[in-house]
Amino acid sequence: MRNRIGVAVLLFGAVCVISFSAAGAPQAKRPRDPQVIDAQGYEKLVQQHHGKPLLVTLWATWCEPCRDEYPMLNELAKEYGPKGLRVVGVNYDDEGDLILMRRFIARYKPVFPNYRKQHGSEAEFTQAISAGWNGALPASFFYDKDGKQVGHVLGAGTRETYEAAIRQLLSGSGHSTFSLTTASGQVALIDPWVMTNPMCPDKLKNVPKLDVIFLSHAHADHLGDLLALAKQHKPQIVAIFETSLWIESKGFEEETKPMGKGGTQRVGEFEVTMTHAFHSNSIDDDGQRIYGGEPAGLVIRMPGGFTVYHAGDTALFSDMKLIGELYKPDVALLPIGDHFTMGPREAAHAIRFLSVKHVVPMHYATFPVLMGRPEHLRQEAKDIAGLEIHALRPGQSAQRVHAGGCG
């Protein structure tokens, strides 16, 4: 009998203890699952962020590159959120993977809101995001303040790629890629960083026609997609001699039009003079760094005499005064980012040397060290009468110069 009583007491005590713990201790609430959205919900989501630059990242726990990328995107959201960027995640996990999704979110504690795609209607949801996207993950899409989709990263992206895109999104800048089109329809690209540039507008990533490529130098953010475009369109390619030799070695002997500084040649309907630029020049050939000759500037004359000076990546130099006197450019495309090129103060002096009245700033804001901005240039050049500074967004145009903004 004693044993029975003892057991009863122990059991009762155990029950009491357990009951007391359950009633008295506060229970952690499970975080609310992400709201489920369909195609219309996605469109409303983008509209809700009107007025702010937006990055939408699409992910799933079964997608290994998504899992690798997500913590990095969370860090970028923390860093650029105070600067105006909004980040939203859309999860693609099925109902059977919800536990994994919950654990993943609990582990990484994202600072940005997440939603979950409604099961089914894959084609409709994909179409609502981008007609040119096949639905593969990971994928991220960038929207400007007006809610217009202006770029994307499809597949795994590096932090450098995302930061370049975010900085362009926040600043509204392009880099150094420009498109020129003659009255008869001949098309030229300067420094063709297009398809692989996350901030190049989708409508410009598809290059339906290309007659000429002008290359100022061969660094990756200028050489860009030259080889892919050359294979697709077989355009004539203007570059300094040493870089031309490398391009020829890739199978484009017939397309290259090598030249040197001070020289002029006619290529299609364009006439180009190669000028000096103070910078460096090398080629990344599958991890091997190759000397590419000297960097250059380009003076390009279109039919009718309209003249564009693309300074390339350069420091300020006094011979810009001669470029202004000899070639009288109608518009100058000048780097202002500083650090690797001249900054706004030097660019203002370049404007005075060139005696030009229309300037398009370029090569700024795409990397953290490129701190120069168009407003800084305006301040430095406020004493120049009649000057118009055209701070173009990717895809905008100024007069007869169409800025692809893709580099």
187-204 tens-digit pLDDT: 999 999 988 877 677 777
Q: Cβ(157)–Cβ(181) under 8 Å? A: no
Q: 2 pLDDT exceeds 70? A: no
Report which of residues 281 and 144 the model is more confident about: 281
The mean pLDDT value of the chain amounts to 87
Compute the distance between CA of residue 327 and CA of residue 321 in angstroms, rounded to an integer: 10
Percentage of residues in the chain with pLDDT exceeding 70? 87
353-370 pLDDT tens trace: 999 999 999 998 777 678
Of 163 and 252, which is predicted with more confidence? 252
Res 31: pLDDT: 64
The per-residue pLDDT for 30 is 58
Paired strand residues for 149: 143
Beta strands 264-267 and 270-275, pairing class: antiparallel
Whether residue 22 is predicted with pLDDT greater than 50 in this model: the reply is: no
CA distance 177 to 158: 22
Where in the chain are the domains? 35-171, 178-402
Nearest to 327 by CA among 310, 346, 347, 348: 310
Determine contact, residues 291/273, Cβ cutoff 8 Å: no
Looking from the CA of 90 toward its CB, the CA atoms found within 13 Å total 25
Neighbouring-strand partners of residue 110: none
Q: How far apart are CA 318 and CA 41, in angstroms?
A: 57
CATH architecture of the domain 35-171 equals: 3-Layer(aba) Sandwich (3.40)
pLDDT at 244 over 70: yes
Residue 11 has pLDDT above 60, yes or no: no
How large is the average pLDDT for residues 49-55?
91
Residue 366 backbone dihedrals phi, psi, to 5 degrees: -80, -20
Band of residue 172 on the pLDDT scale cut at 50, 70, 90: low
Predicted model pTM: 0.65
pLDDT for the residue 46: 95
Question: What mean pLDDT do residues 326-334 have?
Answer: 95
Strand order of the β-sheet with 114-117 is: 35-37, 114-117, 86-91, 54-59, 139-143, 149-154
CATH T-level assignment (fold) for domain 178-402: Metallo-beta-lactamase; Chain A (3.60.15)
Asked whether 213 and 180 are in contact (CB, 8 A), the reply is no
pLDDT tens-digit readout, 258-311: 999 999 999 999 999 999 999 999 999 988 999 999 999 999 999 888 899 999
On the question of pLDDT at 101 being above 90, the answer is yes
14 φ/ψ angles, rounded to the nearest 5 degrees: -65, -45
Top-ranked range on mean pLDDT: pick from 24-33, 326-335, 363-372, 386-395: 326-335
Structure tokens at 368: 């953290």
- What is the reported pLDDT for 89? 98
Go through 208-230 and write b for each residue having 16 or more CB atoms within 10 A of its CB, e for each that does not: eebbbbbbbbbbebbbbbbeebb
Looking at per-residue pLDDT, the higher value among 91 and 52 belongs to 91
**Res 406: pLDDT:** 53
Strands of 306-381 (E only): list them: 307-310, 331-335, 358-362
What mean pLDDT comes out for the span 162-176?
Answer: 69
Residue 394 has pLDDT above 80, yes or no: no
